[in-house]
A and B are shown apart, each in its own frame.
Chain A
Amino acid sequence: GEDVEQSLFLSVREGDSSVINCTYTDSSSTYLYWYKQEPGAGLQLLTYIFSNMDMKQDQRLTVLLNKKDKHLSLRIADTQTGDSAIYFCAERYSSASKIIFGSGTRLSIRP
């Protein structure tokens, strides 16, 4: 069945790069997403990548997709305190109606 896995926690020093990793199982996924959830708020779409792409860059965010290993990563350059949040990886399943979310990675920033 479909599954999306992430580590639960990541701690980085302010100014360093953060790399959040995700693995998924459905090789027929068409889109893969990264969502950000700040405390007390809903999820906000950060970025997405189409499955025929290897990389997508958007300002401080870089998404890398390794289809062979079914591995997705989100790199945040120059991590700031405002980046503290839970980051969810998600895949759009082959049927149009379903998006599967990972458990979320809580990113904390050290001074």
Chain B
Amino acid sequence: EAQVTQNPRYLITVTGKKLTVTCSQNMNHEYMSWYRQDPGLGLRQIYYSMNVEVTDKGDVPEGYKVSRKEKRNFPLILESPSPNQTSLYFCASSSGAGGGNNEQFFGPGTRLTVL
């Protein structure tokens, strides 16, 4: 089954404790992206990757890192989480940059709480 998986689905952590949210897709997609969803703000792009070893900042990259060492994986790293990073995070992938028929497939989301 074609899918995007994220782990963990739920995470409660404390300020300053490094964490990684994994994202994996089995569709051989070039393009992958991370979003955060906050009430009243919709989805905001954190980082995206056009292909292996190619990553770039989205609209809200501060406090986050990503890597793209393999095509299928695109982990999101919070080196020193802070309470304002409490949010619902989505990973997405597509065969292109998500235009037209290049539909973006979304993962199920990771709900992160930073105390």
User: Using a CB–CB distance below 8 Å, which chain A residues touch chain B?
Assistant: 4, 6, 8, 30-31, 40-45, 48, 50, 88, 92, 96-99, 101-104
Contacts and interface: CB of A to CB of B under 8 A. Distances in A.
Contact of B98 (A41, A42, A50, A99): A99
A4 B107 CA distance: 23
A31 B41 contact: no
B98 A103 contact: no
With most chain A CB atoms within 10 A of its CB, the pick from B97, B98, B103 is: B98
A48 B103 CA distance: 9
Interface of B: 4, 31, 35, 40-45, 48, 50, 56, 58, 90, 92, 96-100, 103-104, 106-109
A1 B109 CA distance: 28
A97 B43 contact: no
A92 B98 contact: yes
Nearest to B98: A99
B37 to A, nearest CB: 8
A41 B42 contact: no
B50 to A, nearest CB: 7
B107 A96 contact: no
The 3 closest A-B pairs by CB, nearest first: A42-B106, A101-B43, A103-B42
B42 A43 contact: no
Given A8-B40, A43-B43, A96-B96, 6 more contacts: A31-B99, A41-B108, A41-B109, A45-B104, A97-B56, A98-B97
B42 A42 contact: no
A50 B101 CA distance: 10
A58 B115 CA distance: 45
9 contacts: A4-B42, A40-B108, A42-B107, A42-B109, A45-B103, A88-B42, A96-B96, A97-B48, A103-B42
A71 to B, nearest CB: 17
